[in-house]
Amino acid sequence: MSAAGVLFGCFALLLLMGAPITVALGAAAMAAFMVVGQDLSTMVQIAFSSVNSFPIMALPAFVLAGALMEVAGISRRLVKVAESMVGTVDGGLAISTTLACVFFGAISGSGPATTAAVGMLMIPAMIRRGYDPGYASAATASSGGIGIIIPPSIPMVIYGVVAQESITKMFVAGVVPGLLISAGLIVVHLLRCRGKNLSQGMVPWSASGLLCSLREGFWAVLAPVIILGGIYTGFFTPTEAAIVAIFYTLIIGIFVYKEISLKGLMKSLETTSWLTGRVLVIMFTAFAFGRLLVQYQIPDMIAQWLLEITSNPHLIWAMVIFFLLFLGMFMETLAIIMLVTPVLLPIMVAIGVDPIHFGVVLVCCCGVGFSTPPLGENMFIASGIGGVTLEEISLKALPFCFVTIGVIFLMAYVPGLILWLPELFGY
């Protein structure tokens, strides 16, 4: 059997047996290396070089910054600002949840972290004000996916490293898609909550109320401004921005809000170690797997096969998007990016697609995967907070998923929606 056959055969077999994606990737790569007679130390060297890079340092730093902002009280103040922006419109609290996810996503860069931080505050609040628990949980899980689209984004960092594209350019390109998806989710809330009298207990919108919440949450709102402003102006790199975010949070949490405790600090470090370790192990094995894909020209063969089916860019985009949405139901976001980028990026470049355009659409598709079963991490988090079954959340989340997918197709077919802002900034 050829090395490629061993690679895919072992990978598929281990997945069917229920092995974790990391084990399946690593064991399949190891078996293929043994078949071709290469020293396994070569595999380790390839994998190690993949995670031994300066941009990867942004990953644990952004995770730590997001975890610290939760215990520092910054996320709670961002939610209050979001509520004051909405007022008593129908579905106001659900809309506030979406806005809060946008704000927190501009700090954490993680979908599950955004869902947990915002959900702990907003799901119980929505249930108390008459929202169906399943709807409240589904709304939060769907909005949490914005956390990886609004910059800074951990998956965008990974894509930038794998595709060797500018991470800063990816961040800039993610702003408009994140806002478009947010707007789509808000429209769904307005339509589904109309006439249900769910605004009881909400404070009516007023300029004074908004100014008051902004004044109380000034330092919280300033966090994403400093982080993103520094990146976009070129004052510091994304990796340096993550370190700035950590120190900013520590200073505000200890000396201004005075809410960071030793226990909270240890919990943040534990969360960061667990999440970063899991991601780096996936990257370690996925790079070795990807090296073999490239060595045996498998991406070129898949690209040629697709182009033989059709040369229509719209049809190829549709096939790619549905394929990514399908993978998102079963695989982790970072594993998807590590696996499909070497395979699909050459295809998209061959039909004239900008790598940044493809990368943003890829990340947006992964965002949908957070709220689709059976893997959907955001759904598990929201299910635990709201006390509802996964089946109920899945059903209630369908309209949000359909709207998000519609926005993704719009962005795929109208590349200017993604690329105009990077061009405006001169990237």
Q: Cβ distance 72 to 205 under 8 Å? A: no
Look at residue 399 in the predicted model and tell me its pLDDT: 92
Residue pair 349/355 in contact by the 8 Å Cβ criterion: yes
Which range, 19-23, 248-252, 280-284, is most confident? 248-252
- Range of weakest confidence among 180-184, 296-300, 330-334: 296-300
Instruction: Reply yes or no on whether the pLDDT at 22 is more than 60.
Output: yes
3-state secondary structure of 296: coil
Work out the average pLDDT over 127-145: 87
The half-sphere exposure of 361 on its side-chain side, counting CA atoms within 13 A, is: 34
Q: Tell me which of 45-49, 324-328, 344-348, 359-363 is least confident.
A: 45-49
Least confident of 40-44, 50-54, 234-238: 50-54
CB 370 within 8 A of CB 382: no
pLDDT at 47: 67
Cα dihedral 63, 48, 325, 358 sign: positive
Instruction: Identify the DSSP state of 312.
Output: -
- Place 321 in a pLDDT band, splitting at 50, 70 and 90: very high
Annotate 161-195 with b (16+ C-beta within 10 A) or e (fewer).
Answer: bbbebbbbbbbbbbbbbbebbbebbbebbeebbee
Q: Which amino acid is at 29?
A: A
Residue 374: pLDDT band (50, 70, 90) is low
| Proportion of the chain above pLDDT 90, given as a percent | 18
pLDDT, one tens digit per residue, over 221-275 is 888 788 778 877 778 877 788 788 889 989 999 999 888 888 889 988 887 787 6
d(CA 375, CA 23): 17
pLDDT at 87 over 80: no
Question: How does residue 299 score in pLDDT terms, banded at 50, 70 and 90?
Answer: low
Q: What is 159-189 written as a DSSP string?
A: HHHHHT--HHHHHHHTHHHHHHHHHHHHHHH
User: For position 404, what pLDDT does the model report?
Assistant: 94
Find the mean pLDDT for residues 303-324: 84
Is the pLDDT at 132 greater than 80, yes or no? yes
- Pick the residue with more confidence: 69 or 204? 69
Residue (of 37, 139, 55, 125) closest to 95 by Cα position: 139
Question: What sections of 129-261 are H helices per DSSP?
Answer: 133-144, 154-163, 167-173, 175-192, 207-216, 218-232, 238-251
Q: Write down the pLDDT at residue 300.
A: 66
Give pTM, 2 decimals: 0.77
